[in-house]
Chains A and B, each alone.
Chain A
Amino acid sequence: SQQGEEDPQALSIQEGENATMNCSYKTSINNLQWYRQNSGRGLVHLILIRSNEREKHSGRLRVTLDSSKKSSSLLITASRAADTASYFCAITGNTPLVFGKGTRLSVIA
């Protein structure tokens, strides 16, 4: 498979806690991107990390990339009820933008 695979499939946490989602892939990549999708809406780009980068921050988001293990993680700190959504990783490399099945995050107020 040339797509990323997110883990876990579903995650439920209390508001204020941190949420960590993981993405693994099997091919070489140019970059890895994370997207959020609220129910019934289109995907929204969150953050892009290049293959030669290890870590990137954007507000409450922190993304890491371990190219040797072919894995990435998305950390959302101090989660809010509004963070409830599905989160997808997508890779570009030998193929254009290919998505995994996503992680469904529920943040309980």
Chain B
Amino acid sequence: DARVTQTPRDKVTEMGQEVTMRCQPILGHNTVFWYRQTMMQGLELLAYFRNRAPLDDSGMPKDRFSAEMPDATLATLKIQPSEPRDSAVYFCASGPDGVLDGYTFGSGTRLTVV
């Protein structure tokens, strides 16, 4: 089965450090989402790409977060500098255009900022 691959699986970092999370969407999927999940806020949409172009990143704190798709096989989410409140599980999801069967999620990156 095709999978969305996220790396790293777990990341512990100190406050102030840069964090980069990577996502490999399923080949042929042109829509990519980044979500953040916490107990308090649930699933928050951070960024949304179609054909590598960012369409919506209104949910992302612009001063420290950035999301890019350098090519069709890689999406990145960077936090610089990281803060303890960024601790969460970050999910990437991908899907084809005109989705008929929903989107495929990766297993997530669990980020802990100490």
Interface residues of chain A, those whose CB is within 8 Å of chain B, are 31, 33, 35, 41-48, 88, 92, 95-102
B56 touches A48 (CB 8 A): no
Interface residues of chain B, those whose CB is within 8 Å of chain A, are 4, 33, 35, 42-43, 45, 48, 55-56, 91, 93, 99-108
A42 touches B102 (CB 8 A): no
Q: Which residues of A contact B107 (CB under 8 A)?
A: 41-42
A100 touches B42 (CB 8 A): yes
Q: Known: A33-B102, A42-B106. Is A97-B93 also a contact (CB below 8 A)?
A: yes
The residue from A42, A98, A101 contacting B91, defined by CB atoms under 8 A apart: A42
Q: List 24 A-B contacts (CB under 8 A).
A: A31-B99, A33-B102, A33-B103, A41-B108, A42-B4, A42-B107, A43-B93, A43-B105, A45-B103, A46-B102, A47-B102, A48-B99, A48-B100, A48-B102, A95-B45, A95-B56, A96-B33, A96-B45, A96-B55, A97-B93, A99-B45, A100-B42, A101-B42, A102-B42
B interface SS class? strand
B108 touches A97 (CB 8 A): no
Distance (whole angstroms) from the CB of B3 to the closest CB of chain A: 10
A35 touches B102 (CB 8 A): yes
Q: How far is it, in angstroms, between the C-alpha of A96 and the C-alpha of B101 when the chains are bound? A: 15
Q: Known: A42-B106, A43-B91. Is A96-B42 also a contact (CB below 8 A)?
A: no
Q: Known: A41-B107, A42-B108. Is A98-B102 also a contact (CB below 8 A)?
A: no
